[in-house]
Amino acid sequence: MKCKTLEVWKKSARLSANIYKYFAESNDFGVKDQITRAGLSVPSNIAEGMEKSSIKENVRFIEIARASLAELMTQIYIGIDIKYIDSQMGKSWIEEAEELLKMLIGLQRTIKAKQG
């Protein structure tokens, strides 16, 4: 798996795991399912994209990961607002997500530069 060496994949997988752990006891399956699926989608799309053989596909899946990250951040903001997510925890996740977004943009640039 090519993605195992990428720091962005490692960090997004950890964030996803932390979100799963946070919501493990939640009985609100709608919110729980939506936010955990969005979180899981980020490292999953990075992994899938890095296994594709074309640069165009690599970039496309990184774009999907970025979109999933935006979805996750939206859900975290809403979760904080409606008191489903502890404010401090949510803010920490948002900071991580913003860092991941920068990393994904950098990864996209690196991949596109290979097109030369």
* pLDDT tens digit sequence for 29-82: 888 999 999 999 999 999 999 999 899 999 999 999 999 999 999 999 999 999
Express each pLDDT in 84-103 by its tens digit: 999 999 999 999 999 999 99
The answer to whether 28 touches 84, Cβ cutoff 8 Å, is yes
d(CA 31, CA 37): 10
Number of domains, the chain: 1
pLDDT of amino acid 115:
74
Question: CB-based contacts of 43: which residues, under 8 Å, 6+ apart?
Answer: 3, 9, 12, 13, 16, 65
pLDDT of amino acid 69:
97
pLDDT of amino acid 116:
65
Tell me which H or E stretch contains 65: helix 55-81
Q: In CATH, what number is assigned to the domain containing residue 82?
A: 1.20.1440.60
d(CA 22, CA 86): 10
User: Is 24 in a helix, a strand, or coil?
Assistant: coil
